[in-house]
Structure 1
Amino acid sequence: MCGRYTLSKLEQILRQFPGITALPPELAPRFNIAPTQPILAITNEHPNEVTHLYWGLVPSWAKDVSIGSKMINARAETVAEKATYRRPLSRRRCLILADGFYEWRKNPDKTKTPMYIRLKSGNLFAFAGLWEMWSSSDGSELPSGTVITTRPNALMADIHDRMPVILPPSAYKKWLTPEERSAEEFTGLLEPYPADDMEAYPVSSRVGSVKNNDRRLIDPVERDTLF
C-alpha cells in the first residue's frame, strides 16, 4: 500500500511540469503526508493546474466523506473491474505529486523499520491517481483522490508486497487525456517503476506520528538509532 509520502521539492513543479499555469497559494514543504489530508494533484479535467484533493476517494454516491479513509489506495490488478474505480479510471485520472514515500519493512525479529523510498535522481515524480467529486447535502463539493498501487519491483520486494504506481513522464499526456476512454486502455501503464532508478534507506520512527512534519524525517539513520 501507500499510506505516507513526501512533497518537499516544490520548486521543481513548474520545471518538471512546464504546462502548469497555476499553483495553489501558500504551499509549504511536507514530509509526512497522511490519508484524509490535502494532497497536490494535476487532474485530467484541468491539466494545466495543480490543485488540492482530499486523500481518500469519496464516490459521488457516498453518504459522507468517512468512506474516503478506507479508499486511499486502489489496486492496479482490479482497478478496471471494481465499480468504484472503473468509472474514474475511464473518466477522472490524476497525477499525484510526490518526491518520496514511506513503507515499513518487517524484520526477522518481528519489529518494523520505517523506510524512505525515492528516485535516485532526487527528482519530483507522480503517482498514478484517480479522483472524484463529491457533493454534500448543503451543495458544497469535495474533490478527492486515491493512489493506485501495484506489485513490488525488486527494490520494494524486500520491504513490502505493494508499491505505488509511479508514472514515467512519457505517460503523463496519455494519463491526463481529458476525454472519457475505455478503462482497459490505461491498465498497461500501471506497472512497477524500474528498481534500478530508485533507492531506499531506513529513517526515524518519528514518521509514525502524523504530528511530525520536518526535514529530519527523511534523514537516513542507523538501525539502532531508529527509536
Structure 2
Amino acid sequence: MCGRLSQYDGIHDFVAALSMSNALVNHTGNLPFERYNAAPSTQLALFHQEGQHLHADMVRWGWRPHWAKDRAAPINARVEKVAHGPFFRAIWPRRAIIAINNWFEWVDEGGAKKQPYLIRRRDLAPIFCAAIGQYPNAEHSLGEHDGFVIITADSAGGVVDIHDRRPVTLSPDLAQEWLNLATPKERAEQMVLLQGEPTGDCQFFCVRAGNGLPPGRP
C-alpha cells in the first residue's frame, strides 16, 4: 500500500456490513466520516472487541514501539513477519479491523508524475482490513502512543499491476472471528496468511485530474 485510503461512510454503515450482534460502544460519532484521501497519522475509526462489546474509537494510523525512536511509525505490517518479529510483538495480540471504502496506489507510468489508482470492491461493500494496534481499552484511555497498522500481503491477480502489496481483507464472518478475543493467536495468524479475500473481488480505476473517478479503467 502506498498510504492513502478512504473512510467516508458512517460507523453504523460499517457495523451493518460487519453484521455483529455485539452491543456497540461508539466513540466516533454518528455522522459520515468523509475522509476521502486519508494519509498516515490521520485519526481513523477502528473496531476492536472488549469483553462482549464491539468498540469503535478514533485511532491514529501508524504505530511504533516505545523503544523504536529512530524511525517513523510504520503504517503497515507484512503478514509474513508480523506474528513473530520483535517490532510488533507487543500489539500482535491486540487485533482490530479498519473498515474502509477504498484505497489508493500510485504507479510510475513514465509521466512527469505517478498516476493514482483507486481500488475498491466490485460490489462497493465496505472493505474490512485486518489490523493490530494500541488503542483505548479497560486498562488505559487514549494516549499519545496509541496507533494501529494494517496487515499487508503480496498482491495477486490484476492488483499486482498496480502495487506489489495490498491490505489483507477479511469477509464479515472472518472479521468477526479476527476480533473475537477467544480466537487463538495461532488461528489468527492462519486467517491472515491463508484466508484473506481474493484480489479478484477488487476493481481499480485510473484517477484523472478534473474528471473525478471514471466508470472504468481506460
Same fold (TM over 0.5): yes
The answer to whether the 8 Å contact 2:95/2:133 transfers is yes
Residues 221/104 of structure 1: CA separation in 2 closer, same or farther (3 Å cut): farther
Output one character per residue of 1:169-222: Cα deviation in whole Å (capped at 9) or x when no partner. 12122211225843x43222225532321100011469xxxxxxxxx86x2289
Equivalent of 2:214 in 198, 204, 220 = 220
Match of 1:39 in 2: 44
Match of 1:202 in 2: 206
Aligned length: 205
Q: Which moved more, 1:70-79 or 1:192-201?
A: 192-201
* Structure 1 residue 133 displacement after superposition: 4.8
Structure (1 or 2) with the greater helix fraction: 1
Quote the Cα distance in structure 1 between the aligned partners of 2:129 and 2:207.
22
The answer to whether the 8 Å contact 2:25/2:56 transfers is yes
Counterparts of residues 159-198 of structure 1 (less than 5 Å)? 159-179=162-182, 181-182=184-185, 184-190=186-192, 191=194, 192-198=196-202
Structure 1 residue 81 corresponds to structure 2 residue 84? yes
Quote the Cα distance in structure 2 between the aligned partners of 1:222 and 1:63.
42
The answer to whether the 8 Å contact 1:72/1:147 transfers is yes
Equivalent of 1:49 in 52, 55, 76 = 55
Q: SS in structure 1 opposite 2:87?
A: helix
Quote the Cα distance in structure 1 between the aligned partners of 2:63 and 2:50.
16
Q: Which amino acid aligns with 1:35?
A: P
Quote the Cα distance in structure 2 between the aligned partners of 1:168 and 1:223.
26
Q: Moved runs in structure 1, 4+ residues, more than 6 A? A: 221-224
Output one character per residue of 1:85-116: Cα deviation in whole Å (capped at 9) or x when no partner. 23322x20100110100001232558521000
Percent of aligned pairs with the same amino acid: 24
Quote the Cα distance in structure 1 between the aligned partners of 2:108 and 2:73.
23
Structure 1 vs Structure 2 CA RMSD: 3.0
Structure 1: runs of 5+ lacking an equivalent: 207-215
Taking structure 1 as the reference length, what is the TM-score of the superposition? 0.77
Q: Which amino acid aligns with 1:44?
A: Q
Q: SS in structure 1 opposite 2:89?
A: helix
Taking structure 2 as the reference length, what is the TM-score of the superposition? 0.80
The answer to whether the 8 Å contact 1:101/1:117 transfers is yes
Structure 2: runs of 5+ lacking an equivalent: none
Residues 50/76 of structure 1: CA separation in 2 closer, same or farther (3 Å cut): same
Structure 1 residue 155 corresponds to structure 2 residue 150? no
